[in-house]
Amino acid sequence: MKQGWGFDTAAVHAAQKPDDKTGAISQSIVPAVAYAFPDAETAAAVVAGCQEGTYYGRYGNPTTRTLEQKIAQLENGEDSIGLSSGMAAISSALLAFLQHGDHVLVTRDVYGGTYNFITLLAPRFGITFDFVDCTDAEQVRAAIKENTKAIYVETPSNPRLTVLDLTMLSSIAKERRLPLIVDNTFMSPYLQQPLELGADVVVHSATKYLNGHGDVLAGFVVGKKEVIDFIRKRIAGDLGQNLNAWESFLILRGLKTIGIRMRTHCDNAMKVAAYLQGHPGVAQVYYPGLPAHPQHELARKQMRGMGGIVSFEIKGGMEAGKAFINRLKLAMISFSLGDPETLVQHPASMTHFSIPEQERQQFGITDGLIRLSVGLEDAADIIADLEQALLPGPDGAIRNDAEQVKSGH
């Protein structure tokens, strides 16, 4: 980030300038696959990495390169690579450090897609793993093995919003000479910059807050240039995980308003969390902005804001949880998050369905857990929608559909 610029200014101007030939302020879209060279020597130098340039669409694109440079500046990293999805970013970051015979330490409260990659795909590469409570420094140290090659965490976590001490974890990682990889999707670089707290690599699902409009699939890995170069040449390029020019353009456009959007997401989420905390049909609210959150003080220290995700436990379990989200009128049932619209989902039956029930319970993903991605609507309208959907029965639990029929509702 250029010295003296605030985040909002950098989000608009970093890595971008008017087009040299046309003067156009808006970023140009270059949907090219192949690129011409003036001579064979130049082509060979670009392919060999001796000279800056793009030679084939799987390994780079001028529009995407502008975006990569902007993301790197916003995260205060040396470089970044744009990929075709958040899972492409997660898998590429892990494969940059792991190979056959290696072991990875993973925070136990983790996104379902990450869980699937770690438990189902990574073993096919001969990679082993352990899930550990990364809020406990001693448990982390005890879980590190001789063949451990990376520590992977997300904070706040999906969906219970556990906040991890990145300074503590980076200290342990450096003690053992291990890379610390951090999924920063829930926060965005506006609210949290893990590299500044000692992390080595940051990953994003840019599908979420970076783009912010629900019309792009994309991911990013940010870190040292040598790590990004390796991912570009030996993983993402060879696996065909490239990000296309049109989606890069949309993210560049979305990033210009990220500060404004994130402030509104945070303000709305705080109001929603405070409302839910006082509702008789809600057993527990998970939101770092609430003083009752177990890592509230840590969140205040390491995060610029508390984010736009609120998770909460509905009294009455799975049926009550499903009945609740079915009654919502403004909020939409969706697997995604970070959009202008308020989105709701039931992790146990949706995003984390693939995790065995016993493990879900160990990770704190109960049958009554709801994840709400608080949108940019008026907070009063979001709360009114929640109010009409939260219909407590005589025991305080949210009524399921059968109970509504019996009671005449």
Check if the beta carbon of residue 90 is closer than 8 Å to that of residue 206: no
58 catalytic residue (yes or no): yes
Sign of CA dihedral 182, 186, 188, 192: negative
399 DSSP assignment: P
399 catalytic residue (yes or no): no
Q: Catalytic residue, from 111, 115, 152, 286: name it.
A: 111
Q: Which of 320, 59, 303, 80 is nearest to 191 (CA)?
A: 303
Check if the beta carbon of residue 154 is closer than 8 Å to that of residue 337: no
Q: What is the dihedral of CA 379, 381, 384, 389, to 10 degrees?
A: -100
Q: Catalytic residue, from 149, 160, 208, 261: name it.
A: 208
| Angle, vertex CA 167, rays to CA 166 and CA 170, nearest 5 | 80
At position 112, the amino acid (one-letter code) is: G
Q: Catalytic residue, from 79, 102, 183, 367: name it.
A: 183
256 catalytic residue (yes or no): no
Task: Report the C-alpha gap between 380 and 371 in whole angstroms.
Answer: 19
Check if the beta carbon of residue 218 is closer than 8 Å to that of residue 349: no
Intra-chain end-to-end CA distance of the chain, in Å = 56
Q: Is 193 left (phi over 0), alpha (psi -120 to 50) or beta?
A: beta
Q: Which of 297, 276, 296, 292 is nearest to 372 (CA)?
A: 276
Task: Report the C-alpha gap between 106 and 114 in whole angstroms.
Answer: 10
Rg of the Cα trace of the chain? 22
Task: Report the C-alpha gap between 146 and 173 in whole angstroms.
Answer: 13
3-class DSSP state for residue 57?
A: helix
Check if the beta carbon of residue 109 is closer than 8 Å to that of residue 84: no
Strand duo 332-333 + 219-223: pairing: unpaired
Check if the beta carbon of residue 322 is closer than 8 Å to that of residue 348: no
- Beta-carbon count within 10 A of 396 CB: 13
Task: Report the C-alpha gap between 262 and 35 in whole angstroms.
Answer: 38
111 catalytic residue (yes or no): yes
Task: Report the C-alpha gap between 105 and 285 in whole angstroms.
Answer: 28
At position 371, the amino acid (one-letter code) is: R
Q: Catalytic residue, from 8, 35, 58, 401: name it.
A: 58
Catalytic machinery residues:
58, 111, 183, 208
